[in-house]
Amino acid sequence: MSVDFPVVFALYPNITQLDFTGPYEVFARVPGARCVLASVSGGTIEASGGITFTGIRRLQDVESCALLCVPGGFGTIQALEDREYLAALRRLAGSARYVTSVCTGSLLLAAAGLLTGKRAACHWAWRDCLAAFGAIADPARVVREGNFITGGGVTAGIDMALTVLAEIAGPDYAQTVQLGIEYAPMPPFDSGRPESAGPEILAAAKKRLDAVRAERDAAVRRAAAAVVS
């Protein structure tokens, strides 16, 4: 008898596509997996860079899931104040076996009131925002608090997904999936973390992100106040 294991990716406009397509490659291999892409409006979502995803369901039509995955991206700024989206996260997380996030997706879980007092990972440039929601920022690539498993920036979503898969189906099965997708990163540069990047590289990366920093911080303040109230 096959096991139905619904996996819901809670999407929104201007996501970083690798935040969910990376974990999707892993979660789609969970025994019995039934992956669902859903957003507030359904239909079509355009990710950063212009990739379009169609056939997306409406979150309100998704009754429940075994695993919830919340990706990040620059669209997080708007999603932080999308009350319908945050309400859907709270509802689905309430009965999910696993609640996961990638990159700034943890900020959305926090804005939904789900990470208060919990440790969580986040993209290094946004990690400081977690404190506004009462969450505890953790620099680890994958962080677990109960059934909440959060990943750091973008590519950390694959590590997070393999961690979850190992618990669901066992370490041996997870390793066969890792081998199957040939996940053996050997980057040409050792600059994937702020701690290892040279000072000039880090400064340049921060300068690129400064363009959204004021908008980000204002949205975080408003969203955090809404959680408190």
The per-residue pLDDT of the chain, averaged, comes to 96
Q: What angle do CA 109, 35, 44 make, to 5 degrees?
A: 75
Please give the pLDDT value at position 227. 85
Strand spans (E) along the chain = 5-10, 33-39, 43-46, 52-58, 67-70, 98-102, 119-120, 136-137, 142-145, 148-151
Strand spans (E) along 80-164 = 98-102, 119-120, 136-137, 142-145, 148-151
100, 151, 179, 201 from 10: Cα distances, Å: 10, 15, 27, 32
Q: Which structure tokens are listed for 204?
A: 């340049």
Q: Is the pLDDT of residue 195 over 70?
A: yes
List, for residues 85-94, the tens digit of each pLDDT value: 999 999 999 9
- The whole-angstrom distance between residue 15's C-alpha and the CA centroid of its chain comes to 10
Please give the pLDDT value at position 228. 63
In this prediction, residues 50-61 reach a mean pLDDT of: 97
Q: Which of 18, 4, 2 is nearest to 152 (CA)?
A: 18
Provide the residue range defining the domain that includes 195: 5-228
Give me the number of domains the chain comprises.
1
Q: Is the pLDDT of residue 211 over 60?
A: yes
Please give the pLDDT value at position 1. 35
- CATH number of the domain that 56 lies in? 3.40.50.880
Task: In whole angstroms, give the CA distance from residue 132 to residue 141.
Answer: 21
Q: Is the pLDDT of residue 226 over 50?
A: yes
CA atoms within 13 A on the CB side of 165: 25
Task: In whole angstroms, give the CA distance from residue 225 to residue 23.
Answer: 31
Q: Which residues pair with 35 in a beta bridge?
A: 7
Q: Which of the residues 35, 65, 103, 122 is marked catalytic?
A: 103
Q: What are phi and psi of 82, to 5 degrees?
A: -90, 95
pTM greater than the 0.85 cutoff? yes
Dihedral over alpha carbons 218, 221, 226, 229 (to 10 degrees)? -150
16, 35, 102, 120, 208 from 66: Cα distances, Å: 23, 10, 17, 20, 37
Q: What is the band of 3 on the pLDDT scale with cuts at 50, 70, 90? A: confident
The reply to whether 103 belongs to the active site is yes
Q: Which structure tokens are listed for 125?
A: 């440039």
